[in-house]
Amino acid sequence: MKTAAFLGLGAMGGPMAAALARRAADTGGRVLVWNRHADRAQAHAAEHGTQAASLPDVGEAEVIFTCLPTSADVNEVMEQLEPHLRPGAVWVDCTSGHPDAARAQRARLLERGVKFLDAPVSGGVSGAKTGTLTVMLGGPADEVEAVRGALAFAGRAVHVGDTGAGFAVKAVNNALLAVNLWAAGEGLAALARSGVELGAALDVINASSGRSNATEHLIPDRVLTRAFPPTFGLGLLAKDTGIALDVVDNVRGSAPVLAQVAALCRAAAQMIGPDEDHSAMLKLIEQMNGQEIR
């Protein structure tokens, strides 16, 4: 690869593009960057040796990465960028997007001879900075293999299925995060109100069968501390649980628990605020129970 482009320099995208740039420095390539607010692209270029580019110029890249809030944002950028794309290029979308959108986007780009892979990531900002993200790839196996080497921000990259499968797995992962977190909040609120010391309770739960990423990390780090640091927004989690329900719906499946939590998650985003950290959805549980989780 000679030229890569990265669109969307947010909390995740910024360090991901920087990882690409470090790799490119070793291999003689270059990384174009674009952001809705152009000053952020210029700052990125100055700090990480990337090149701020206009949307048309981004079309020169052989591999185009996007990391935007939603598939709707990707569609908007794609519409503008489409006339400038080079046949043979690959579009790798690291957004937590929608499987239906992935299928439509792939079909649209294939008409121009451009490939599309869905490639959402997990591992958080820290994983992005250390280049150890997990990537969930959806698309034809040969195309996945061909792009694997370009994923400089990845600690591991797993091919999970056909186009849309990456987004589907990511949505289900985030729905499980929401369920595990919400249920732990319900249980801990009742324990706190019963006079149980929550630190001790989490200690034993985390040594037992009820443990999850929520009880091991999110609740001790973000809720008990009352910090709720805004890294991953409640509104985006609500969006992702909605995508998971669409995955269920597309196969005429039945998922009563995911469905309930998706609805509660959306209520929390409405009542607590979409820009609050996702862990702040436990504030709704606190209101429902008249009991702080601390």
Catalytic residues: 170
Task: Say what angle helices 99-110 and 71-81 make with each other, to 10 degrees.
Answer: 10
- Coil, strand, or helix at residue 151? coil
Q: Closer CB to a copy of itself, residue 59 or residue 97? A: 97
Nearer to a copy of itself, 89 or 178 (CB): 178
What is the distance between the terminal CA atoms of the chain, rounded to a whole angstrom? Answer: 51
Chain centroid, CA 73 distance in Å: 14
- Evaluate whether 279 touches 227 at the Cβ level (below 8 Å): no
35, 8 in Cβ contact below 8 A?
Answer: yes
| Selection from 62, 123, 66 nearest residue 88 by Cα | 62
- 161 or 230: whose CB is closer to a copy of itself? 161
Pairing type for strands 30-34 and 51-52 reads parallel
* CB of 163 vs a copy of itself, minimal distance in Å: 10
By beta-carbon proximity to a copy of itself, the closer residue of 31 and 191 is 191
**Residue 135 CB, nearest distance to a copy of itself (Å)?**
8
CB of 9 to a copy of itself, least distance (A): 22
Q: How far is the CB of 121 from a copy of itself (least distance, A)?
A: 9
